[in-house]
Every structure is written in structure tokens, then in C-alpha cells.
Structure 1
């Protein structure tokens, strides 16, 4: 298994990050991609990946929540980090009209700049979209023929949105949201529609703790997610698709290696 999106640069892992990684390896993960969503987290993600070369990798981008901070210094930093062998993708970037923590025009400017940068550098792109499908799709469609591999991560949207992204040859990342019987049930019908070679799995740790984890195995605080819990996402996706969990784990890991250029 490969977790294609874990926020291990988050300060919530500072006290036990090495133990978190060891639990992931013990749970059967072969690699983890750490999400960089700001200048600080991108630098930290690359540092952590460098410390665990060959098993941990990093992305670098500016999340739409921080889009108002976009400037030439961010672009220069991401260009620099992109030369590091541990940096396998640009992003997380995109649009988020659900929280609107940055003005929407600032979100669109930052997203536009990062789309152009990914096209120029030829890096895969790790994208975020929430409640902004129309604008997000229009901007992505405008750049798509100049981009390489694209993943719409933490997909929680509608069947129509999934079909739009698949029509643009995007990969789709599925998280523990699918394990949430309160708000993720619609994903059980969408996931089987995703071609096997474009499905990717992730925890988005420390967020989105799968609700299918037995109570006895829950973390002490009952909230913090970590890569070791990826098998619960695998199991739910497998049931939704009528497949064996081992096959889903194998195929999605292979997809992740191809997407990010990770050598087995």
C-alpha cells in the first residue's frame, strides 16, 4: 500500500513521528507521500522525506486556505524544492469555496500560477477542490493539455464531478471519507466507476480518521488519523468495488508508483 497524501509535517506528529512511520511500515505500507501545503510545510515535508529516502516522499504547494500569501518567494521556493529527488509532485493547490479562508480571486490567482508552474516543470500535480467545482474545472481544463499527471485528492464530490475529472484523464484520491456512513455513502457508488489505473488511496492524516476502525484500536485522543490506518480505506473501497482488498492495495500502490515516479 502507498498513502499518497499524509500531512506528516503537521505539528501534531512532532512528538512521535518516527513511531508513526514505524506503525505504517508494520501495517504493510511501502511508501508515504507527505503533503506540502504551505512554504513551511513543504520545506518540512522535504526534510522528513530526505531523512527516510526511498520510503517517504514529498509534495510542495500552497493550499487555497493560504492563497492570499502567494508571491514570487513561494514560486522561487517551489522551483527550488522541485529539484530535490524526494519532491515527487507540486501541490496541494486548488480552490476551496467551502471555508473561503482566502478571497476567491486570490485563490484563483494562486491556483493559476501553480498550474502554470507545474506545466513548465513537468511535475505531477496534487489538487484540492471543495465546493468550487465549476471554477476549478474551467481552470484545470484550460491547462490540462500542458500538464502531466493530475490527482484530484480527497475526492468527496458528486458522480458528475468525478466523471468530469475522469474525462480530463485525472487520477482520483479516496480517503477515509468513504468510511463515514454519515456523509460518505455516495462514494460507495462512485468509486466503482473510477478506472482501476486511475484510483489512488490516502489517509489525509491527521484528518479524516476512518469511522470503520474498531473502538479498541482507536488512537488515544479518538481523533488523530495516521498512515497505519490506510488498510481501513482499502477495505471499504474493496467492498464497494466487489474486489479483494489485496488486489485493491496492489493496484493502487502500482498506480501511485507510476503517478509519482516512485521506484519499487
Structure 2
């Protein structure tokens, strides 16, 4: 990703110090180009140094970013960023936390977004029974509506699931013949749920959760169950800062430049080469989001 504005001019001169945010010990360049399939770059924490964030990603060989659209406002912001910077693409959907806000007007607005060339997936959508910020009934209603939009648009799905694997699988089974590809982003579930998703020919997104010995250890035990052609990697930044970093980072903000540390962790637990994981996950992401066609 050569980071330039839509006017094809270099970034501002202030980017001379673009790497000051990362200590030397955290500047890790991936052996081959990476695709970060889940970056929340519309989050307010990136508002002051976005260009530097993109340059650090470029320096780390994270060349393509899929910006997550979790509601109408952030999906529109993500699409606008994609028009400013090459190498960026967006998703557009409504997160289950906000499912109670689903309406016919929102559905129309999302349908319009899905027609934009920079929008490459429907979502983030799904079910979250962990906190139930929206009721399960509202979550299922919004999820089914967005499954319908995915069928209508032909776009793949960017899915969220937390503590709702059984119900998610039931719903997806009834839609599987109609939807195209789907990825369960930031997978944190158990082996049985994983195998249910794989049996439906879904893809799996892994984050820095894997690097957290307190709550992600179980993922390491069945990491090899995920075929490389179904696996993608993501930071979910600014969240889920990897805990395997060899130096402290000022603040707790995660960013795309740290994706290589997640790839390293995956390679370690799969007992394979980092370059193999990097290349395979990037190729899988490009096929999944049809980036060769854009």
C-alpha cells in the first residue's frame, strides 16, 4: 500500500516522525504482504495521526486494510477514507450491540452503501449474547435483514459472534445456500463452534486474542484445525492489543502495524513458517473480498 491521498500527493511533512509511536522493539516487518481484515480506523483514537498510522502499516508490510463499518455513520466514514487512500476497503453493516436501531430507512441506506465499489462486505453483523446491549430478538431481526442484503448484493459477510454460536449456526444453516462467502471475525469460541463454522464452509478471522494467555489459550489447542485457505488475520484495532509484544506501548491502542506479531503467534502454534502464514492469509483475504477484481 503506497499511502497517498486521492490527489496522488505524498503525505504531510509531519510524517517524518511517523514511527515515533512504536518503540524500536515493536517495529516488525512481515516477510510478505499482509491484509488486515478488521481495522476500526474510524475510531476517534485515530483522528489525529491517521496518516502516520497508515505509514507505519506500510512499513510493517501490512499493505491492505479492510475498515470495519459497525453502523451507518462509521460505514460512511470508512467508505470516505477508502476514497482518500488506496489500499483501503470497507465493510458496511450494523453491529448486534446496536440492533435495536434497525429500521427500513437504515436498510435502504445500507443497501446504497453496498453498491459503492469500496464496500467489499456486508457487516459487521451477527449475534452477541454476551452483553445483550440489544435484545436477542432485535439482534436476530437485524441479522436476518442483513443476511437478506448480502444475498441481494452478492457481497460476502463480515460476522460477529460472541456467546451465541449455537443460534448463529442455526440461522446460517438456513441461509447457507443463498449467501456467498462469510467470515466469523475475531473468533474466540470453542472447538465445537469452530467446526460448525468450518462445516458450513465459513472463514475464520483471528486477532490478538490468541496472544492473550489469560483468555486465548484454548484457541492454540485447535489452531491447526483451521485450513490456511479459510484463515485470515486482523488487528480489530484499536482494540485487542497483542500481549506477546516484547516492549510496552504508550497507551493501549492497537494498530495495523502490529499485525505481524499476530501472524508470528499463529505460525508458532501451528509450528510452521511465518512467511507461509502471511502469504496464505493474504491470498485468502484477497480472494474472499474479491480484491483482484477491484
TM range (shorter): over 0.9
State the 1:107 CA deviation. 0.5
1:180 to 191, 195, 212: 212
- What RMSD over aligned residues (CA atoms) do the two structures have, in Å? 1.0
Does 2:289 correspond to 1:256? no
State the 1:227 CA deviation. 0.5
2:110 to 63, 73, 78: 78
State the 1:239 CA deviation. 0.7
1:19 to 23, 30, 52: 52
> Which structure has the bigger radius of gyration?
2
Equivalent residue, structure 2, for 1:155: 187
DSSP 3-state at the match of 1:30: strand
Does 2:269 correspond to 1:240? yes
Aligned partners of 1:130, 1:24: CA distance in 2, in Å?
28
Aligned partners of 2:176, 2:41: CA distance in 1, in Å?
29
- Post-superposition Cα deviations, 1:196-228, rounded to whole Å, max 9, x if no partner, equal 100000000000000011224x2x11x110010
1:98 to 113, 125, 130: 130
Does 2:154 correspond to 1:111? no
Alignment of 1:119-134 (within 5 A): 119-134=151-166
- Post-superposition Cα deviations, 1:76-122, rounded to whole Å, max 9, x if no partner, equal 11111111111110100000010111111100100010011101111
Equivalent residue, structure 1, for 2:30: none
* 8 Å Cα contact 2:186-2:207 kept in structure 1: yes
2:258 to 204, 208, 229: 229
Aligned partners of 2:53, 2:197: CA distance in 1, in Å?
33
For these two proteins, the number of residue pairs brought into alignment is: 260
Aligned partners of 2:238, 2:143: CA distance in 1, in Å?
24
2:66 to 19, 33, 45: 33
Does 2:68 correspond to 1:68? no
Aligned partners of 1:6, 1:190: CA distance in 2, in Å?
25
TM-score by length of 2: 0.87
Aligned partners of 1:95, 1:147: CA distance in 2, in Å?
17
Aligned partners of 1:207, 1:238: CA distance in 2, in Å?
22
- Post-superposition Cα deviations, 1:147-186, rounded to whole Å, max 9, x if no partner, equal 1010000000001000000000000000000000111011
State the 1:263 CA deviation. 2.4
